[in-house]
Amino acid sequence: MLAEYWPVLLFIAVAVGLGAVLLVVGLLAGPRRPEAEKLAPYECGFEAFEDARMRFDVRYYLLAILFIIFDLEIAFLFPWAVVFKQIGLIALIEMGLFLLLLVIGFAYVWKKGALEWE
């Protein structure tokens, strides 16, 4: 029974070994030039602040959520495009409605000014 799992175990061993080798080579051959700018804390596009309860603009998160929503639409478009010829006209209409809803949502967000970054 172990013979059936041999290719999987070999693949895992090669992947772990290659990952370890690449990490070691990167540590040994990579440049080490620590500077104050590189060692300074950096938090998501904002200057590092002292108080964890400090208020900051929520538009950053809104923009990130909008990016995820419109990026995930591609996850639905790729499989649809691959089997487009097999699924027929009804799937074309359904995908058209899906994209229409996304365009309406995008127009709404744009009209509300959520994409404006001042």
What residues pair up with 43 in beta bridges, in sequence order?
46
d(C-alpha 60, C-alpha 67), whole Å:
11
SS3 category, 115:
coil
pLDDT of residue 56: 67
Look up tokens 């080490």; give the residue: 32
Give yes or no for a contact between 42 and 48, defined as CB atoms under 8 angstroms apart. Answer: yes
**Which band of pLDDT confidence, cut at 50, 70 and 90, is reported for residue 12?**
very high
pLDDT of residue 57: 72
Is a pLDDT exceeding 90 seen at residue 29?
yes
* H-state helical runs in the chain: 2-29, 36-39, 59-82, 84-112
**Which band of pLDDT confidence, cut at 50, 70 and 90, is reported for residue 83?**
confident
Q: Phi-psi region for residue 113, left (φ > 0), alpha (ψ -120 to 50) or beta?
A: left
Nearest 5°: the CA angle 36, 46, 55 is 130
**DSSP type of residue 46:** B
Whole-structure pTM value: 0.48
Structure token pair of residue 115: 């994409």
